[in-house]
Amino acid sequence: MNLENMNALVTGASRGIGASIVEVLARNNCNVIINYNNSEKEAYQLGEYIKNKYNVKVLTIKADVSNENDVKNMIEKIISEFGKLDILVNNAGIAIDTLFEDKTKENFQKILDVNLIGTFLVSKYASKYMLEQKHGKIINISSTNGIDTFYPMSLDYDASKAGVISLTKNFAKELAPYINVNAVAPGWVNTDMNKELDEEFIEEEINKIFMKRFAEPEEIANVVLFLASPLSSYITGEVIRVDGGF
């Protein structure tokens, strides 16, 4: 795939799936904007590594996707430094899994603010420029938890990811025919998000997966690459499950 002269913003790209999406896009000659919130060191290290290895343009930007001012400033900086934005991957996300009886309004709100409102805000400000250009690709990272319900301990996260699917379909309709808006719904992926899970639970979950393992971040990133590329020109408002056959 040759994404030369394309510029892609990946939110929450300092670690995990986001960092892998950055690398897969850069490997295909795409310039990348690495957004982070807390993990400054990891984000800049990734930026240096990508610049040296793939010889593409890299910009690293701090922004909390749930903060409207941060988002507005980030998009304006991208346009002033890169001239245009072709691909947006709304990947930033958090989960705060607790027992049902320990669920709080504050944590529920935090999750919605980052996962759902963050996706809305970045899409809103980025799509303004994509519409002017009359082209663009938006890829939202949802989750299989946004399609089915598995574990009430993540009911707040699940609601946010179901909301991301609804946003995907509404934005696809609103931004057509110029911008493709799709979602990827991963199942279990080997990242920090799952590092607290206990061994026994992991084994039970692996037994439910046809592939008998969690995904590697790159296996999600490859699907994002397809949706970011011209190969997916007639797909919009769609959700692609990547769960190894759960």
**Which residues are tagged catalytic?**
157
Out of 192, 198, 200, 203, which residue is the one contacting ligand NAP (CB under 6 A)? 192
Shorter beta-carbon distance to ligand NAP: residue 101 or 222: 222
Residue 15 near ligand NAP by CB under 6 A: yes
Determine, following the binding rule CB under 6 A, whether residue 36 of this chain makes contact with ligand NAP.
Answer: yes
Binding residue (CB under 6 A) for ligand NAP from 34, 78, 114, 179: 114
Q: Are strands 58-62 and 31-36 parallel, antiparallel or unpaired?
A: parallel
Q: Please identify which residue in 127, 191, 229, 232 interacts with ligand NAP, judged by CB under 6 A.
A: 191
Backbone angles phi, psi at 242, to 5 degrees: -130, 85
Pick the closer one to ligand NAP by CB: 79 or 209.
209
Among 7, 28, 127, 143, binds ligand NAP (CB under 6 A): 143
What span, in angstroms and rounded, lies between the C-alpha atoms of 70 and 75? 9
Q: How far is the CB of 185 from ligand NAP (least distance, A)?
A: 7
Is 12 among the residues that bind ligand NAP (CB under 6 A)? yes
> With helix as H, strand as E and coil as C, how does 51-108 read?
HHHHCCCEEEEECCCCCHHHHHHHHHHHHHHHCCCCEEEECCCCCCCCCHHHCCHHHH
Binding-residue total with ligand NAP (CB under 6 A): 29
Contact between 188 and ligand NAP by CB under 6 A: the answer reads yes
Q: Which of residues 89-108 bind ligand NAP (CB under 6 A)?
A: 91-94
Residues 3-34, buried b or exposed e (16+ Cβ, 10 A)?
beebbbbbbbbbbbbbbbbbbbbbbbebbbbb
Q: How many helices (H) and strands (E) does the chain have?
A: 8, 7
Select the residue interacting with ligand NAP from 28, 60, 66, 180 (CB under 6 A).
66
Residue (172 or 223) nearer to ligand NAP, CB:
223
Backbone angles phi, psi at 180, to 5 degrees: -90, 130
Residue choice 7, 28, 31, 37 for contact with ligand NAP (CB under 6 A): 37
Question: Which tokens hold the place of 232?
Answer: 């997916």
Selected range binding ligand NAP among 33-41, 127-135, 168-176, 197-205, rule: CB under 6 A: 33-41
Beta strands per DSSP E along the chain: 7-10, 31-36, 58-62, 87-90, 136-141, 179-186, 239-242
Hey, what's the torsion of the CAs at 74, 78, 84, 90, to 10 degrees? -50
Q: CA angle, corner 59, sides to 58 and 60, nearest 5?
A: 120
Residue 60 within binding range of ligand NAP, rule CB under 6 A: no
Contact residue for ligand NAP among 116, 141, 165, 223 (CB under 6 A) = 141
Interface with ligand NAP (CB under 6 A): 11-12, 14-18, 35-39, 64-66, 91-94, 114, 141, 143, 186, 188-189, 191-194
